[in-house]
């Protein structure tokens, strides 16, 4: 099983709303990623969690707040977003180990977010 | 200079052609190399992965890595219309993963 599940698949939110995106994997992977992808562009790295600790934060605005409550779950909390934040938000996971052993990453199908 | 360079195309080939997709990179710390296929409005699907220089074959797909030249390739043999998609190269150094721009491929019947 190489499945990464993202919910919801689609989300429309107003600029004053608070919402959360969820990502779940049961492959025992200890690295989890959030990417943002605009149309016809490659995925842009937002956050990386390694062993449930935030390892990389690509200077993402504070209106995006990641959370990794356990090794299987990754959330992205959204608050006061702007229309330009509309994009496909992708979650990925991999079995990377701290001491060597980098492996391939698997992606979910994404959440298509529209901010109105 | 971007860490990972990939020609965005678009690339159009006739059915049955051999397709060659390429990426170059500047960060010699990258240790793991992947190719993804992405259909419109879908998540990237892992096609090939490797960590060593040389060739790796899986069906119609061959991934090639040359670490000394910082150059990776994906070859698709006997291309099919269903191969029409965007192909993304990705590279990893723990815990980071970066993508190329993606090449849009169309295989015409």
In sequence order, what DSSP letters do the residues of B3-70 get, joined into one string? SEEE----EEEETT--EEEEEEES-TT--EEEEEEE-TTS--EEEEEESSSEEEEETTEEEEEETTTT
A106: which chain B residues are within 8 Å (Cβ-Cβ)? 46
Report residue A8 as tokens: 């919801």
In 3D space, the residue among A85, A87, A88, A89 whose CA is nearest the CA of residue A33 turns out to be: A89
Task: For residue B31, count other CB atoms closer than 10 A to its CB.
Answer: 14
- Mean pLDDT along residues B42-55: 93
Using one digit for the tens of pLDDT, what is the confidence trace for A64-89? Answer: 999 999 999 999 999 999 999 999 99
- Mean pLDDT along residues B24-28: 94
Using one digit for the tens of pLDDT, what is the confidence trace for A86-98? Answer: 999 999 999 877 6
In 3D space, the residue among B60, B73, B67, B2 whose CA is nearest the CA of residue B34 turns out to be: B73
Who among A42, A56, A107 is closest to B43 (CB)?
A: A107
Measure in Å the smallest separation between the Cα of B100 and chain A Cα atoms. 7
Interface contact B92-A90, CB threshold 8 A:
no
Using one digit for the tens of pLDDT, what is the confidence trace for A17-65? Answer: 999 999 999 999 999 999 999 999 999 999 999 999 999 999 899 999 9
pLDDT of residue B32 exceeding 70, the answer is: yes
Q: Please give the residue of chain A at the shortest CA–CA distance from B92.
A: A102
- How many angstroms separate the CA atoms of A33 and A57, rounded? 10
In 3D space, the residue among A7, A74, A56 whose CA is nearest the CA of residue B95 turns out to be: A56
Decide: B102 and B86 in contact? Cβ < 8 Å: yes
Decide: A108 and A90 in contact? Cβ < 8 Å: yes
Interface contact A96-B42, CB threshold 8 A:
no
Report residue B47 as tokens: 């096609």
- Residue A99 has a pLDDT of 64
| CA A53 to chain CA centroid, nearest Å | 14
Measure in Å the smallest separation between the Cα of B15 and chain A Cα atoms. 24
Phi and psi, residue B84, nearest 5°: -65, 115
């Amino acid at each position: 099983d190489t499945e990464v599940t993202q919910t919801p698949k689609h989300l429309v939110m107003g600029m004053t709303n608070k919402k959360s995106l969820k990502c779940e994997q049961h492959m025992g992977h200890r690295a989890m990623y959030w990417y943002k992808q605009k149309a016809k562009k490659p995925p842009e790295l937002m956050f990386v969690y390694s062993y449930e600790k935030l390892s990389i934060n690509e200077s993402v605005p504070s209106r995006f707040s990641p959370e990794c409550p356990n090794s299987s779950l990754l959330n992205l909390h959204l608050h006061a977003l702007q229309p330009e934040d509309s994009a496909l938000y992708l979650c990925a996971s991999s079995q990377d180990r701290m001491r060597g052993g980098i492996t391939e990453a698997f992606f979910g199908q994404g959440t298509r977010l529209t901010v109105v | 200079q971007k860490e990972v360079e990939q020609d965005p195309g678009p690339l159009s080939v006739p059915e049955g052609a051999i397709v060659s997709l390429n990426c170059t990179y500047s960060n010699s710390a990258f240790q793991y190399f992947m190719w993804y296929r992405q259909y419109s409005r879908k998540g990237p699907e892992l096609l090939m992965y490797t960590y060593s220089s040389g060739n790796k074959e899986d069906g119609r797909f061959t991934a090639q890595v040359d670490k000394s030249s910082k150059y990776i390739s994906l070859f698709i043999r006997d291309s099919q219309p269903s191969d029409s998609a965007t192909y993304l190269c990705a590279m990893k150094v723990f815990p980071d993963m970066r993508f190329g721009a993606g090449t849009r491929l169309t295989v015409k019947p």
